Amino acid sequence: MSERKLYGLTALFQTPDEIVHAAKKVQDSGYKKYDVHTPYPVHGMDAAMKLKPSNLGYVTLIFGLSGAAFALLFMYWAMSKDYPMIIGGKPFFALPAFIPITFEITVLLATLATVIGMLTFYFKFPNNSQPLHDTPYMKAVSSDKYGICIEADDELFDLEKVKHLFKELNGQNVSEIYFPVTEPFKIFEPKFLILLAVVALSTSAVTYLTLNKLLYITPYNWLMNQNRVNVQSKSTFYADGFGMRKPVEGTVARGFIPYEYKGLAAPVVPLSNPLLPTAQILQLGRKRFLTFCSPCHGNFGDGDSRLRGQFPNPPSLHSEKVRGWHDGNIYHVIVNGQNVMPSYSSQLSRDDRWAVIHYIRALQKAKNASPSEILEAKKETPSNAAK
């Protein structure tokens, strides 16, 4: 049996002041390869050991910036180049909408890099053969004692001198720590290779039999042979062969009022707006208008589309023709669409459409008010009322 190799010498101390003084003394004595172990962070220990700032922050910074750059470039390529989409009239590269994902990827990569880098490159973990593991010294400093360990690899290490130093510092339970005895094991021994082959063949056989035989035997095949129809698959139950069925013609969903003029060029009779133009309704109409209508019609209905070059600009909502329309005509266009404008019946509910019409009327009135109406509005302003 080979002689055990010395790892270092340890000593225990009772108070934080003692361990801080001992660390300072060891540092001033010229030792470089030593470490201090305490059950909690001790104030002043960094200065006593003259520790330099950690480089771990640079790892966090580099991977954090890399995560931000990756997130922004990936979203730019996916949303602006590979599959560009217009969402609510936003530009292809909508930076404010990309910020949450960018933040999450930045934090994720920075955190993972910090933890993995700290454990693997700085602490050299996993290291199950670390000599201090499972020693009375480590159990003591993990509970209520304070300890210091000077490694035997230090250039100034001398066993007797270190013992004398610990004695001067009133160190207790001075112990010699040795490297654990390792037993060599040849991985390519015939017995190990045979065992490895048996395990691999057994695992492969059990997996194959389970996935290819057992799951097809009653009663284990009930998951596969269910009385159902997969989405977009052929059905043998119905004569037309379609598994997905359309609703019965004329069916009306509960709580849904169908639009009786759907598909017609114009409403047969004018429809009246059932909603009153209250402040709440106008606010709802403004919100829906800016979300769904403003990308093409502009924020004020002037037809100044933000999607120039992608779709033809629509006519202004302030023309005499549109201002002369009944509310039902505008409602009809919203439901059915007109020319290149699609139907917005699925985006806007019934009340939303009428609220949008109220807001359009408010825009028309604001831009086409008569002189008498402007004068009357000035009289009703708070400043004039105060005078």
Instruction: List beta partners, residue 148.
Output: 11, 36
Q: Are 310 and 208 members of one domain?
A: no
Q: Write 110-119 long-range contacts (CB < 8 A, 24+).
A: 110/60, 110/61, 110/63, 110/64, 110/67, 112/63, 113/59, 113/60, 113/62, 113/63, 113/64, 114/56, 114/59, 114/60, 114/63, 117/56, 117/59, 118/56
Look up the pTM and report it.
Answer: 0.45
pLDDT at 382 over 70: no
Is residue 265 one of the residues assigned to a domain?
no
Instruction: For the chain, give the percent of residues with pLDDT over 70.
Output: 95
Q: Which is more confidently placed, 263 or 203?
A: 203
Among residues 183, 204, 237, the one where a domain terminates is: 183
Is residue 268 one of the residues assigned to a domain?
no
Q: Are 134 and 166 members of one domain?
A: yes
Among residues 151, 183, 215, the one where a domain terminates is: 183
CA distances from 61 to 52, 107, 274, 387 (A): 18, 10, 59, 61
Torsion sign over Cα 206, 212, 217, 221:
positive
pLDDT score for 356:
95
Q: Are 60 and 12 members of one domain?
A: yes
Give DSSP secondary structure letters for 236-300: SSSTT-BSSPPPPTT---TT----TTTTSSS-SSPPPP-S---HHHHHHHHHHIIIIIHHHH-TT
The pLDDT tens digits for 315-344 are: 889 888 888 888 888 999 998 888 888 889
List of residues 6+ apart from 359 with CB closer than 8 A: 282, 285, 286, 288, 289
Is residue 258 one of the residues assigned to a domain?
no
Tokens at residue 204, please? 């492969």
Q: Are 54 and 164 members of one domain?
A: yes
pLDDT at 386 over 50: no
Which range (97-101, 170-174, 220-224) has the least confidence?
220-224
Is residue 142 one of the residues assigned to a domain?
yes
Torsion (CA) 166, 169, 174, 178 in degrees, nearest 10:
-40
Q: Are 307 and 174 members of one domain?
A: no
Highest averaged pLDDT of the listed ranges 55-69, 299-313, 318-332 = 55-69
Among residues 246, 270, 297, the one where a domain terminates is: 246
Q: Are 9 and 158 members of one domain?
A: yes
Which range (37-46, 102-111, 126-135, 193-202) has the least confidence?
126-135
pLDDT score for 1:
43
Q: Are 40 and 120 members of one domain?
A: yes
Q: Are 176 and 216 members of one domain?
A: no
Torsion (CA) 218, 220, 225, 229 in degrees, nearest 10:
170
The pLDDT tens digits for 76-132 are: 999 888 888 777 777 888 888 899 999 999 999 999 999 999 988 888 777 777 899
Q: Are 219 and 156 members of one domain?
A: no
pLDDT score for 75:
92
Q: Are 143 and 231 members of one domain?
A: no
With beta carbons less than 8 A apart as the criterion, state whether 132 and 125 touch.
Answer: no
Based on the structure, what is the number of domains in the chain? Answer: 3
Is residue 259 one of the residues assigned to a domain?
no
Is residue 120 one of the residues assigned to a domain?
yes
Boundaries of domain holding 314: 279-379
Q: Are 175 and 199 members of one domain?
A: no
How confident is the model over 68-78, as a mean pLDDT? 94
Per-residue DSSP letter, 341:
B
Q: Are 175 and 237 members of one domain?
A: no
